[in-house]
Amino acid sequence: MKQAHVIGLGKSGIAAARLLSRHGWAVVLSDRNPAPLAAEQQGQLQAEGITVRLGHSFSADSETQLVVVSPGVPWDVLPLVEARRAGLDVIGEMELAWRFLRERPWVGITGTNGKTTTTALTAAIFQAAGLDAPACGNIGYAACELALQPTPPDWVVAELSSYQIEASATLAPRIGLWTTLTPDHLQRHKTLGNYANIKASLLHRSEYRVVNGDDAYLRQHSPTQFTDAYWTSVQGKAALAPLQPSTYLEAGWVMFQGQPILRAEALKMGGDHNLQNLLLAVTAACLAGIEPAAIAAGISSFPGVPHRLEHICTWQGIDFINDSKATNYDAAEVGLRSVASPVILIAGGEAKEGDDGPWLARIQQAAASVLLIGDAAPQFARRLDEIGYTAYESVETMDRAVSRGAELAQSLGARVVLLSPACASFDQYPNFEARGDHFRQLCLSQFG
Burial of 265 per CB tally in 10 Å (0-12, 13-18, 19+): exposed
- Half-sphere exposure for 382 (CA within 13 Å, toward CB): 4
Distance of CA 101 to the CA centre of its chain: 22
Read off the DSSP letter of residue 87: T
* Residue partners of 230: CB distance under 8 A and separation at least 6: 208, 209, 210, 211, 244, 246, 247, 283, 287
Q: Is residue 107's pLDDT more than 80?
A: yes
* Residue partners of 59: CB distance under 8 A and separation at least 6: 79, 82
Task: Categorize the per-residue pLDDT at 225 as very low, low, confident or very high, splitting at 50, 70 and 90.
Answer: confident
| Mean pLDDT of the region 263-275 | 90
Q: What pLDDT score was predicted for residue 313?
A: 95
Q: Is residue 222's pLDDT more than 90?
A: no
Cis check: omega of the bond before 105, within 30 degrees of 0: no
Give the C-alpha separation, 33 to 379, whole Å. 28
φ/ψ of 390, rounded to 5, equals -115, -5
Q: Is 333 helix (H, G, I), strand (E, B) or coil?
A: helix
Burial of 306 per CB tally in 10 Å (0-12, 13-18, 19+): middle
Q: Is residue 187's pLDDT more than 70?
A: no
Task: Categorize the per-residue pLDDT at 190 as very low, low, confident or very high, splitting at 50, 70 and 90.
Answer: low
Read off the DSSP letter of residue 326: -
pTM of the model: 0.85
pLDDT tens string 407-421: 999 999 999 999 999
pLDDT tens string 376-413: 999 999 999 999 999 999 999 999 999 999 999 999 99
Q: What pLDDT score was predicted for residue 38?
A: 63
φ/ψ of 142, rounded to 5, equals -70, 140
Q: Is residue 37's pLDDT more than 70?
A: no
The pLDDT > 70 percentage for the chain reads: 97
Give the C-alpha separation, 413 to 189, whole Å. 42
The pLDDT > 90 percentage for the chain reads: 78
Q: Spell out a b/e string for 231-254, using b for 16 or more CB atoms within 10 Å of the CB, else e.
A: bbbbeeeebbeebebbbbbeeeeb
Give the C-alpha separation, 41 to 28, whole Å. 15
Find, among 160, 196, 152, the residue nearest to 177 by Cα.
160
pLDDT tens string 71-97: 878 888 899 999 999 999 999 999 999
| Mean pLDDT of the region 235-239 | 95
CB 321 within 8 A of CB 149: no
CB 321 within 8 A of CB 339: yes
| Mean pLDDT of the region 279-303 | 96
CB 332 within 8 A of CB 326: yes
Q: What pLDDT score was predicted for residue 224?
A: 81
Give the C-alpha separation, 366 to 357, whole Å. 14
Task: Categorize the per-residue pLDDT at 288 as very low, low, confident or very high, splitting at 50, 70 and 90.
Answer: very high
Give the C-alpha separation, 371 to 381, whole Å. 10
Q: Which region holds residue 326: left if phi is over 0, alpha if psi is between -120 and 50, else beta?
A: beta
Q: 43 or 253, which is more confident? A: 253
Q: For the chain, which domains are there?
A: 3-87 (3.40.50.720), 96-300 (3.40.1190.10), 310-447 (3.90.190.20)
Average pLDDT, the chain: 93
Q: What pLDDT score was predicted for residue 354?
A: 86
User: SS3 sequence, 207-233?
Assistant: CEEEEECCCHHHHHHCCCCCCCCEEEE
Task: Categorize the per-residue pLDDT at 39 as very low, low, confident or very high, splitting at 50, 70 and 90.
Answer: low
| Mean pLDDT of the region 20-48 | 87
Q: Is residue 189's pLDDT more than 60?
A: no
Q: Is residue 188's pLDDT more than 60?
A: no
Task: Categorize the per-residue pLDDT at 183 as very low, low, confident or very high, splitting at 50, 70 and 90.
Answer: low
| Mean pLDDT of the region 229-257 | 95
| Mean pLDDT of the region 433-440 | 96
pLDDT tens string 320-367: 999 999 999 989 998 999 899 999 999 999 998 889 999 999 999 999
Q: 430 or 17, which is more confident? A: 17
Name the β-bridge partners of 260.
Answer: 255
Question: With DSSP H G I counted as helix, E B as strand and the rest as coil, what are the percentages for the chain, rounded to 5?
Answer: 40, 20, 40
- Half-sphere exposure for 160 (CA within 13 Å, toward CB): 34
Stretch among 64-78, 176-190, 217-231 having the lowest mean pLDDT: 176-190
Task: Categorize the per-residue pLDDT at 245 as very low, low, confident or very high, splitting at 50, 70 and 90.
Answer: confident
